[in-house]
Amino acid sequence: MKMPKEVNRYCPKCKKKTKQKVIQVKSHKTRATLKKGQRRHERRSGISGYGGYPRPKPEKSKKWGVKLTKKLDLRYKCSECGKMTIRKQGFRVKKLEMVGAK
């Protein structure tokens, strides 16, 4: 998917439409937020670590409950006041390209 580097968007601070830079934020680490039960399930089903036991390690594409794409976290930075606004919902794409302004 192609994404423009700059978009005209409403800025709540300027109270008008301004040019805003699109910033892609790297997703946070999930390890610390994983629940104990989730970790146990991973261990028992052989998803994590080397060779899977008791079941063979599944292929990446066949891994149960594992999505191949990641949700993007996009933010917009106003060029006039510098306020950052967050895109309401992330969306899933395999590849994101930043394209120069039209």
Residues that bind Zn ion (CB under 5 A): 11, 13-14, 18, 78, 80-81, 83
Q: Of 102, 41, 30, give the one whose Cα is nearest residue 71.
A: 30
Question: 81 vs 86, which CB is nearer to Zn ion?
Answer: 81
Q: How near is the Cβ of 24 to Zn ion at its closest, in Å?
A: 20
Question: 5 vs 13, which CB is nearer to Zn ion?
Answer: 13
Question: 18 vs 22, which CB is nearer to Zn ion?
Answer: 18
Q: How near is the Cβ of 76 to Zn ion at its closest, in Å?
A: 10
SS (H, E, C) the chain: CEEECEEEEEECCCCEEEEEEEEEECCCCCHHHCCHHHHHHHHHHCCCCCCCCCCCCCCHHHCCCCCCCEECEEEEEECCCCCEEECCCCCEECCCEEECCC
Question: 15 vs 94, which CB is nearer to Zn ion?
Answer: 15
